Amino acid sequence: MIAAATVLYLLAGLYAFSLIKLARGLTHASDPQNRKQPKVSAVVAARNESANIISCLRCLQNQDYPADLLEIVVVNDRSEDDTGQLVADAARLDSRITLLEVHDRIPAIAPKKHAIDLAVHEARGDLILTTDADCRPGSSWISQMVRYFEPEVGMVAGYNPYDAGEARSATFQKLLALDYFAMACVAAATSRLGFPVSCSGGNLAYRTQVYSDVGGFGAFKAHPSGDDDLFLQRVREMTNWKIRYATAFKSHVPTAPPATLREFIQQRLRYASKSRLYSWRVSLALLAVYLMNFGLTLAPVLLISGVGAAPLWAGALTAKIGAEFIFLRRGARLFATHFQTRTFVLASVFHPVYIAVIGLMAQFVQFDWKGEKHTDPAAIQSFNKR
């Protein structure tokens, strides 16, 4: 077991070194310089969102962007509630709103990707901005995101933080918010260092031309997840367009966190299910991180059973936690936010187990999304034929 502990120690050291290097991408950057105001299409794919869609529409209608340069395209994706009717009623009162209806599920393309693809092809804007029905963009969201579109920029990712509302004080919600914040820090850092790896569809913008340049979702279109980061991967690898990350406060788009542990698990299974579709460099890094967390998860069991190498296990855990704390503190300054140290400590206890379990489950377990079971055999076959 000394050998296994040594490997874990080396993995943790490499992880810590990588995070510290990655933190360089979380330094303050120059302000966006674009002053042009192109036609913009705000796109919302909605399924069974009657409880959220009106609030989302009001946020989009109240943007300070010129009204004649904004259209709002909502795709009602086979909703079984009043989502479509609510949007139709709003559209009668505001000519900027367009309602598109999806009535059937098409096996060759995942539902949300189908909805977005339909919206992009119907949109008249030079820029597509996507958000979700449970998101609440501030009044300057579009204006701020547009400022990042300098001539060489084809895509802009934005911060999509959890806002638990009245549940903000709950420990569970704080843990979820910290985990989501950590993912945003990785997205921002890698973007600023020239190799963006992730983004959130709740706060994402790209040129309509970029969507056309890469052929939409292409080989990934059948996978039920990845309308954001898998699409980003296509833009990164298939074009010369620059991808920026918007950190300005007015570009943030708060979203509701999972309300229950089950919803959180299903969401993370959806995120992790696409890990096999990333580029080899990203997949290799994810594998190393997974093996490190898997080893840390097993360590207590091995130590209790009398297996030695305790200093190596402890050193690996210390390296992981220390590097993550430094990285997140740097990210908190960039995003002008904060996180509680006690929440971080609590998260550090559960994080290795969470990564080990979810990562393994995602390779074999179907997940629920919007009331439907999803799996990805068609996407894997498509990916393998690229």
For residue 4, count CB atoms less than 10 angstroms from its CB and return exposed for 0-12, middle for 13-18, buried for 19 or more.
Answer: middle
Average pLDDT over residues 337-357: 90
pLDDT over threshold 70, residue 364? yes
Q: What is the mean pLDDT of the chain?
A: 89
Domain 29-173+191-260 of CATH type 3.90.550.10: yes
Tokens 């960039």, located at residue = 334
pLDDT over threshold 60, residue 382? no
Average pLDDT over residues 89-107: 96
pLDDT at 381: 43
* 218 conformational bin, left if phi > 0, alpha if psi -120 to 50, beta if neither: left
pLDDT at 333: 92
Average pLDDT over residues 342-362: 90
* Distance in angstroms (rounded) separating the CA atoms of residues 275 and 269: 10
pLDDT tens for 132-176 read 999 999 999 999 999 999 999 999 999 999 986 554 458 888 888
Strand partners, 76: 46, 101
pLDDT at 268: 86
Q: Are strands 40-46 and 127-131 parallel, antiparallel or unpaired?
A: parallel
pLDDT at 169: 56
pLDDT tens for 238-268 read 999 999 999 999 999 999 888 888 888 888 8
pLDDT at 7: 87
Percent of the chain with pLDDT over 70: 91
* Distance in angstroms (rounded) separating the CA atoms of residues 197 and 230: 9
pLDDT at 165: 58
Least confident of 159-168, 177-186, 317-326: 159-168
Note the helical H segments in the chain: 2-22, 53-61, 83-93, 111-122, 141-147, 171-192, 208-213, 229-238, 261-272, 280-304, 310-334, 341-361, 377-384
Average pLDDT over residues 304-317: 74
pLDDT at 371: 66
pLDDT over threshold 60, residue 322? yes
For residue 311, count CB atoms less than 10 angstroms from its CB and return exposed for 0-12, middle for 13-18, buried for 19 or more.
Answer: exposed
* Distance in angstroms (rounded) separating the CA atoms of residues 58 and 45: 16
For CA atoms 326, 313, 268, 227, give the dihedral sign: positive
Cα angle, residue 130 at apex, residues 136 and 370 outer, rounded to 5°: 75
pLDDT at 308: 58
pLDDT over threshold 90, residue 299? no
Q: Are 179 and 346 in contact (CB under 8 A)?
A: no
pLDDT classification of 49: cutoffs 50, 70, 90 = very high
pLDDT tens for 279-288 read 999 999 999 9
Q: Which two tokens stand for residue 329?
A: 């503190």
Q: Residue ranges of the domains in the chain? A: 2-24+278-381, 29-173+191-260
* 215 conformational bin, left if phi > 0, alpha if psi -120 to 50, beta if neither: left
Percent of the chain with pLDDT over 90: 69
* Distance in angstroms (rounded) separating the CA atoms of residues 46 and 77: 6
